[in-house]
Every structure is written in C-alpha cells, then in structure tokens.
C-alpha cells in the first residue's frame, strides 16, 4: 500500500516553483504576485488566507492582502476587485469564500478577469476546462490530478467513483477524470445525496474520490481490494486532547479502508497541502501568461 | 412502452414559440432574428443550415444566412462574426460546423458574444451551465432534457449511463443529468471508447443515453427491463431502396431494445427534431435577453 504523500509532493512542487522564481529574478523578469481579498473576520477564512500569503513568501512571490470590513457593500467589493484587475503588477486574484450575505458570490466571481482567476471559479475557466482548453483549474481538483500524475497512478480505462457533486471539487473532478488525457480516460460515476446505493457503486470502483464532507463516511466494506482512494474531506471534529480543540477528519475511515488500498491519501497531509501548492502553480502560470497568451497567439 | 415522440413534442414547442412571436409582434416588440454562417459547400452542412432557416420562418423569426466561400480566411470569418455581434437586430448567431482546416474552431467559437451564442458552445455558456447559472445549453442536450421533462420521466435517484463523451452531447448530458434539478439528480456514469465493459454499466442503468455515433451499438441484451433509452445517433447508412440513397440509423438497435423499455426515442423522429426546436428556443431567449439580462439586474 502506497501513501500518496501530499505534504512531500507539495513541497517538491513548491521547490520547483521557487526555483523558477529564482530564475525569473535572475533574468529580471516579472515576479509573480497574488492578491487575496478577505471580507470580515471568519476564523477559518483568516487562517486560509494567511496560509496562502505565507505560501507566497515561501516560494518568492509577492502578495497583497486586502482586508475589508464585515459590512462591506457589494459595490465596494466589486470596485476593489476591479482595481486589482486593472493593476498590472498583480497576476492572480482570489476572493476568500464564504462572503457575507449582502454580497453576490456570482457577481464577484464573474468580475474577476479570467486571466487573473487563479482559483479557476470564473465560468470562462470552468467552460474552458470542460472543453479541454488551457485554463486555470480549481486548486483542489488540480492538486488531486498532480498527485495521481506524480505517483503515476494508472487511470486509463479504470472505474472511478466520485462521491459529492460540489462546484469546486466533485463536479470538476468528474470532468477531469473522464476526459481524454492522462490522468483521465476513466469511466466516471458521480454519486451524491440522491444516489440510492453508494456502496453498490464504490464496490465496483478502481478509484474512489470522496468529497462529500462527512467524516469517516467511506469504510472498508465499501471498497474492493487494490482500490485507489483519494480523501478530499477535511472536517474539524472536536478533540479536547488537542491544544487547538479539534482534529481534522477525512471522509475516509482510514483504519478500515487503507488495508485494502493500492494507494491512499492521508488526512491531514494528503489533498490539503496539494491544494495550497496548486494555487501557487496557477499564480505562476498567471505571471507567465501561460493560458490566455498562448490562445491569443498560437492555435 | 412509451415512444418519446420528438417530432410531436418539437411541433408543440415550435407552436409555443410561434404563439410568443405573435404576441411580441402584437405588442410591437423585437422579432427574434437568427444569423447562420456557412463556410463552404458541404452537403450535410447546407442541409442543416437550410433546415434552421426554414424553422425560423415557420415560427415567425427573422433570419440571415451568411454564405462564405470554401477558401474564406480565418480573419475574414472572424470579422464577419464580429459584424453580426455588433448588429443589434440580430439576436442569435450560429456558425455551422465543421469549418475548413484553415480556420480555428476555437477562435470562432470564442469570438461569438456569449449573449448571442445560441449554440451554447462558448466557454462562458458551458461554464455557466456547469455552475447551474442561466445559460444557453447546446441544442441536443437541451432537446433531450425537454423531452424528459415534457414526458415527466422520473430521473431523481436513477442510474443514468451515458455512452460517448463528446463536447456537444455526452459531456454536457453527464453534467445536466447529475445536477440538482428536475430533470436531473441522477447518479451518472459516463462511458466512452476507453471503458472496458460498457455492457456491465448499461445493465445497471435505469436510463441509457447513447451518443457514440455507431449504428445499432446498443442491443437488447445490454439493458434491463423498464429502462429509458435516449438515442442520439443519426448516422447515414447506405440504403439503395431509398430515393436519397441512405437511411438514418440510431445508436440503438430499436427492434431488440424497445421491448424492454419503459420509454424510448425513435430514429428518426426522436432527438433530431428536438435539437432543431431547441435552437429556436435559445434564439427566443436571446431576443428576450433572458439569461444575461437577468444576471445583470437580479441576484
């Protein structure tokens, strides 16, 4: 059984990015710069945004943190994003979700320029991904694809069952795993809350991607021997033995599932760190104008 | 066994559209207008485009047919589309595919304004569909969804197997059938050329959508009793007994499959006419500015 070590792999990716930044610097090129916008004081959101800024420092990127008050109006936020859109020094923009109720997530997502949308949430990037065109792919799906690729997990012709149909994980994963590419070429089944018998599907799966957000949902008797299991869940479960008062639990019951696996991601240290590295990778591509530049001049 | 009669249903939809056009006219509103661009003299393409123009006449739409020479350069076509983009009298634009080799389909698709993209091929419309936002949905998937809806075929919680992962049918169908909506809420499995055992999947399916373009591929022993079968195939098969020299054959072997079905679409007279009606429906929405207007002013 091979542990798909997201911590180690993400460190490798970050090292590769840092090396590229060093090279860019030595050639007098444009240093990648990420702007993160945070509205309000939600604890988890602050933690996430701070990590992203720290990651930027680690690889040598510039970063700008825009902190707005909880009561920020929609137009004020849209104006703020527009200003970053127009700032040529900033390559990538993320607006940390969730947003307060007075603000339309859709409007904010759509005002970000697709060329700077390193979260890959803009419809243009989603649509381009579906069509197999160069695009920013959302960090979690991209991180999972990187993990499969770097561990050379065989996917072609395999049955892949995805549990959870969210916009940012399950649905894009179903598209990426089905498409004609490597990794990819799977026969993909997308399960969700309306699926009648999830176990009937997971028992036939060569690859299971659990992204429903229910701690310990996938258990050993739901999978077959030799399965590849990707655990996207990271639920905070109260744990008084820990200083911070909670433990991170995945959607997979590791103890019963892992003995049957050929490959499995742990939680923590699996998909989570890959997601963070993916955002940096997208930001590097933004600085290099990899996706939208190439479309305009080649093809 | 119920025949999902696409011919009859499409006539109903066209009648509803014609009634709405009459109402628009009586109120002095904007008559929907479709522009179709055809490059070259491919026989099938000419037939399709002529049908679309005829459909427009039938429901009272205006239409413009732009015919360009086989040797038209890419920039010339892009300029032509741009002109239609800027023409306020034209609501919807389609560029008939395939295009000659010297022209990039991607560039042409992306230059069409998303608000006028009634084929639903632009990445913005694909991305919005994936995100569940108002969008033009490509004619074939939209026609199938209409057929399921109007015949009140139960889809929630059902196993739906789609055969074929094309950009314009299989992949969007997999997204539409899986999403939280009615029709929708299916557990969707997307099969394709790399799937090892398609029959193992179709035998478990409550709904099969065959969109691979191989005449008679789905046979009776591949489906279970009570299945709903949607046949998207329309391959021209040589047939000397017909005046035109060919017959249209679906991907489903109707004779062996239909006795096991609760519902099935025939070929011809199933998905084909629904596709034509869907394009008219999209053009009506374009004239009413249904999708992009509502986003700008509400939400």
| DSSP string for residues in A160-214 | EEEE---TTTHHHHHHHHHSSSSS---EEEEE-TT-S-HHHHHTT-SEEEE-S--
Q: Are A106 and A149 members of one domain? A: no
Q: Are A242 and A151 members of one domain? A: yes
Extract the tokens encoding A212. Answer: 């429903």
Which residues from chain B sit within 8 angstroms of residue A178, using beta carbons?
165, 171, 174, 190, 192
CA distance A96 to B21: 45
Average pLDDT over residues A239-251: 93
Tell me what pLDDT residue B293 has: 63
Q: Does B165 touch chain A (CB under 8 A)?
A: yes
Pick the residue with more confidence: A236 or B202? B202
Is the omega angle on the peptide bond into residue B98 within 30 degrees of 0, that is, cis?
A: yes
Instruction: Read off the pLDDT of residues A36-72 as tens digits, 9 standing for 90 and up.
Output: 999 999 988 999 999 999 999 999 999 999 999 999 9
Q: Are A259 and A215 members of one domain? A: yes
Q: Give the CATH number, domain containing residue B187.
A: 3.40.50.720
Q: Does A185 touch chain B (CB under 8 A)?
A: yes
Tell me what pLDDT residue A299 has: 32
Question: Helix (H, G, I), strand (E, B), or coil: what is residue B95?
Answer: strand
Question: Helix (H, G, I), strand (E, B), or coil: what is residue B91?
Answer: coil
Q: Give the CATH number, domain containing residue A38.
A: 3.40.50.10860
How far is residue B133 from each of residues A127, A257, B92, B126, B239, measured CA to CA in Å?
A: 12, 37, 19, 10, 44
CA distance B92 to B275: 16
* Paired strand residues for A35: A64, A93
Residue A63: inside a domain? yes
Q: Are A263 and A199 members of one domain? A: yes
Beta-carbon contacts of residue B26 (< 8 Å; ≥ 6 apart): none
Cβ atoms of A33 and A61 closer than 8 Å: yes
Instruction: Read off the pLDDT of residues B221-268 as tens digits, 9 standing for 90 and up.
Output: 999 999 999 999 999 999 999 998 999 999 999 999 999 999 999 999
CA distance A15 to chain B (A): 33
Q: Does A33 touch chain B (CB under 8 A)?
A: no
Q: Does B113 touch chain A (CB under 8 A)?
A: no
Residue B156: inside a domain? yes
Q: Are B93 and B151 members of one domain? A: no
Tell me what pLDDT residue A99 has: 97
Residue B25: inside a domain? no
Residue A32: inside a domain? yes
Tell me what pLDDT residue A160 has: 98
Render A132-146 in DSSP notation, one character per residue. Answer: T-S-PPPHHHHHHHH
pLDDT level of residue A292 (50, 70, 90 thresholds): confident
- Residue B127 burial (C-beta neighbours within 10 Å; 0-12, 13-18, 19+): buried
CA distance A198 to A213: 15
Q: Are B153 and B244 members of one domain? A: yes
CA distance B180 to A193: 10
Percentage of residues of chain A with pLDDT beyond 90: 95
Residue B146: inside a domain? yes
CA distance A190 to A170: 8
Residue B181: CA count within 13 A, CB half-sphere: 15
Cβ atoms of B15 and B75 closer than 8 Å: no
The active-site residue out of B91, B117, B119, B231 is: B119
Other C-beta atoms closer than 10 Å to the C-beta of A14 total 18
Number of domains making up chain B? 2
* ipTM for the assembly: 0.94
Question: Helix (H, G, I), strand (E, B), or coil: what is residue A240?
Answer: coil
Q: In the 3-class helix/strand/coil scheme, how is B3-44 assigned residue by residue?
A: ECCHHHHHHHHHHHHHHHHHHHHHCCCCCCEEEEEEECCCHH
Tell me what pLDDT residue B298 has: 34
Q: Are A251 and A199 members of one domain? A: yes
By DSSP bridging, strand B92-95 and strand B62-68 are unpaired
- The yes-or-no verdict on residue A283 having pLDDT over 60 is yes
Cβ atoms of A220 and A260 closer than 8 Å: yes
CA distance B36 to B59: 16
Residue B170: inside a domain? yes
Residue B24: inside a domain? no
By DSSP bridging, strand A246-249 and strand A235-238 are antiparallel
Known active-site residue B102: no
Residue A296 CA from chain centroid, whole number: 26
Q: Are B239 and B182 members of one domain? A: yes
Residue showing tokens 């992962």: B165
Average pLDDT over residues A157-162: 98
Per-residue pLDDT of chain B (299 residues; tens, 9 = 90+): 999 999 999 999 999 999 999 999 999 999 999 999 999 999 889 999 999 999 999 999 999 999 999 999 999 999 999 999 999 999 999 999 999 999 999 999 999 999 999 999 999 999 999 999 999 999 999 999 999 999 999 999 999 999 999 999 999 999 999 999 999 999 999 999 999 999 999 999 999 999 999 999 999 999 999 999 999 999 999 999 999 899 999 999 999 999 999 999 999 999 999 999 999 999 999 999 999 864 443 33
Q: Are A91 and A199 members of one domain? A: no
Whole-structure pTM value: 0.95
Instruction: Write out the residue range of the structural domain in which residue A76 sits.
Output: 27-113
Q: Are B151 and B193 members of one domain? A: yes
Most B CBs within 10 A among A160, A167, A189, A294, hence the mutation to make, goes to: A189
Q: Does B181 touch chain A (CB under 8 A)?
A: no
Q: Are B223 and B175 members of one domain? A: yes
Residue B290: inside a domain? no
Name the residue among B294, B290, B249 with its Cα closest to residue B270.
Answer: B249
Answer positive or negative: Cα dihedral of A87, A90, A96, A97: positive
Residue B91: CA count within 13 A, CB half-sphere: 24
Instruction: Read off the pLDDT of residues A87-96 as tens digits, 9 standing for 90 and up.
Output: 999 999 999 9
Name the residue among B134, B91, B128, B142 with its Cα closest to residue B112.
Answer: B91
Name the residue among A124, A118, A123, A122 with its Cα closest to residue A136.
Answer: A118
Average pLDDT over chain A, rounded to whole? 96
Residues of A classed as catalytic:
52, 96, 119
Q: Are B157 and B99 members of one domain? A: no
CA distance B244 to chain A (A): 35
């Amino acid at each position: 059984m091979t542990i798909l070590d997201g911590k180690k792999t993400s460190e490798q990716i970050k090292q590769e990015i840092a090396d590229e930044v060093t090279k860019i610097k030595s050639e007098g090129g444009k240093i990648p710069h990420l702007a993160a916008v945070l509205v309000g004081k939600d604890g988890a959101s602050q933690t996430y945004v701070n990590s992203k800024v720290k990651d930027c420092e680690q690889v040598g990127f510039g970063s700008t943190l825009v902190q707005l008050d909880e009561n920020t109006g929609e137009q004020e936020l849209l104006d703020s994003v527009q200003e970053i859109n127009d700032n040529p020094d900033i390559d990538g923009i993320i607006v940390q979700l969730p947003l307060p109720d007075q603000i339309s997530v859709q409007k904010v997502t759509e005002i970000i320029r697709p060329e700077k949308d390193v979260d890959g949430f803009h419809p243009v990037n989603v649509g381009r991904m579906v069509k197999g065109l160069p695009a920013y792919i959302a960090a979690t799906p991209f991180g999972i694809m990187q993990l499969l690729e770097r561990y050379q997990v065989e996917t072609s012709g395999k049955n892949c069952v995805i549990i959870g149909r969210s916009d940012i994980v399950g649905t894009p994963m179903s598209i990426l795993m089905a498409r004609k590419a490597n990794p990819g070429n799977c026969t993909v089944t997308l399960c969700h809350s309306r699926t009648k018998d999830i176990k009937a599907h997971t028992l036939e799966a060569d690859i299971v991607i659990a992204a429903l957000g229910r701690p310990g949902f996938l258990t050993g008797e739901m999978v077959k021997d030799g399965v590849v299991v990707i655990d996207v869940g990271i639920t905070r479960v109260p744990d008084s033995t820990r200083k911070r008062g909670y433990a991170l639990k995945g959607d997979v019951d590791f103890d019963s599932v892992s003995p049957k696996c050929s490959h499995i991601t742990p939680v923590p240290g699996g998909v989570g760190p890959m997601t963070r590295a993916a955002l940096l990778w997208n930001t590097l591509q933004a600085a290099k104008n990899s996706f939208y530049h190439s479309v305009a001049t080649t093809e």
